[in-house]
Amino acid sequence: MQKDDMVIISVDDHITEPPDMFDKHLSGDDLKTAPKFCTDENGKSYWTYQGMFMPSVGLNAVVGRPPEEYGMEPTSLEEMRKGVYDVDARVDDMNANGIAASLNFGTAVGFDGGRFHKAEDKELAKIHLRAYNDWHVDEWCGSHPGRFIPCGILPTWDMKATVAEIERLAKKGVTAVSLNENPTVQGLPSIHNEYWEPMWKALVDHDMVTCLHIGAGNPAPHASMETPIEAWITTMPMSVSTGAADWLNLDALLRYPSMKIALSESGIGWIPYFMERADFSHERHKAWTNSGFGGMKPSDIFRRHFMSCFIDDAFGLKNLDAFDENMVAYECDYPHSDTLWPEVPEHLWESVKELTEEQIEKVTHRNAMRYFNFDLFSHFKREEVTVGALRAKAAADGVDTSPQSYGGDAPLAAGEEKRRIVSGDLMKMFAHHAKSAEERKAG
């Protein structure tokens, strides 16, 4: 096998939702009260919903920019690649990157639909959440069958509605949902509460994957506002360990042996030690903690239930024998700053070329297809979706992947001497956008 022979599926990418997202799925008062996309007099875009203002619409959607323009940008659709918010252009960018299929999380609504959880009128929120799912499944994913793995969001503040939405999504062919890994931050019971039992059963009955995306409930902490921003970026994938440990101790995993959990944007190199530490902790402390893993080790539970994904993780791939190699999948993270677009195949090949051909097939696409019940090859012949074939199509279609400068706000003040960017700089940028939104609200 060579680089161009790979078939690549990404199980973690993102969408900046287009302004007309709800137009085909709502009408009347339901449409009037839906989230609204707005642009101010300075060209900055934001969403508004039930009194909430969501600034920085791009939220790090910096793909295609020169690296020096990264940050909490862009703030308008005109400052980002069209593939960030336009599905046809997204497929073009996937072709240029050799990506056969992709699972996408939302932005304005939150990775987990968190914006709807914060809404005061929960009955309206349920209507609009369902409309988001319809847009995501029918328009975004449905416009290019076989190129996307649909991923729904759930109204978990209402368990009866949650189960109904799982059943509705299953009928639409959806095999994954995105949840907050720590629902207590949404004012809901912890995952260890019996409140969730109907959802666990419904998810298992419909063989759906639960995606837990980093940053939704247990965000990577900043050591201080003066800490260089690279320290925060470094810890982001490993921050999932807090939620992973919590879910690993979930009793429902013993009741539902086929329950599926995906750690989205987790990385994999740290996981062998995580499993080793969980086993040590259980063996050393079970006499007084009264914990139970059904006679198994925590690492056995992890290998049975948890899919982990990686962007660039040579160490983890060199040590696949420490994992279950059937529970590792690739992610591109388009359009965020960690994405290796449009050079994913070059980076990925360097990390996997020493693996067996079977292992390469598993981590690049087979594991994703099996775990998410997604049959890429029922839509395409293999030779149509290899890296080489997709890139040849992108070239024929004239897809331009050259970096494009958009300018935008800088993390340092005008005239300020060049220095290392710290956490506080990005927080100030985001706060500035939020303040502007509040001023618009007041005006």
Question: Residue 142 belongs to a domain with what CATH number?
Answer: 3.20.20.140
Task: With both helix axes pointing from N to C terminus, report the angle between 271-289 and 298-305 in degrees, rounded to the nearest 10.
Answer: 130
DSSP run (H or E) holding 205: helix 197-205
**Per-residue confidence band for 54, with pLDDT thresholds at 50, 70 and 90:** confident
Instruction: Tell me the average pLDDT of the chain.
Output: 93
Dihedral, CA atoms, 181, 259, 151, 116, nearest 10 degrees?
-40
Residue-number span of the structural domain to which 264 is assigned: 3-442
Q: Taking residues 227-237, what's their average pLDDT? A: 91
The count of other CB atoms within 10 Å of the CB of residue 42 is 8
> Residue 155: pLDDT above 70?
yes
What's the pLDDT at 408? 64
Instruction: Give whole-number Cα distances, 207 to 151, 258, 364, in Å.
Output: 13, 8, 22
Nearest Cα neighbor of 16 from 97, 93, 96, 111 is: 111
Tell me what pLDDT residue 436 has. Answer: 56
E strand or H helix that includes residue 28? helix 28-32
DSSP 422: B
- pLDDT at position 434, please? 61
The confidence score (pLDDT) of residue 231 equals: 93
Bond preceding residue 66 cis, omega within 30 of 0: no
Q: pLDDT for 66-107, tens place per residue?
A: 988 887 678 889 999 999 999 999 999 999 999 999 999 999
pLDDT of residue 59: 73
- Evaluate the omega torsion of the peptide bond into residue 74 and state whether it is cis, within 30 degrees of 0: yes
- With contact defined as beta carbons under 8 Å apart, do 153 and 106 qualify? yes
Look at residue 410 in the predicted model and tell me its pLDDT: 66
Amino acid at 384: E
Q: How large a percentage of the chain has pLDDT more than 90? A: 82
Looking at the structure of the chain, the number of domains it has is 1
In this prediction, residue 201 carries a pLDDT of 98
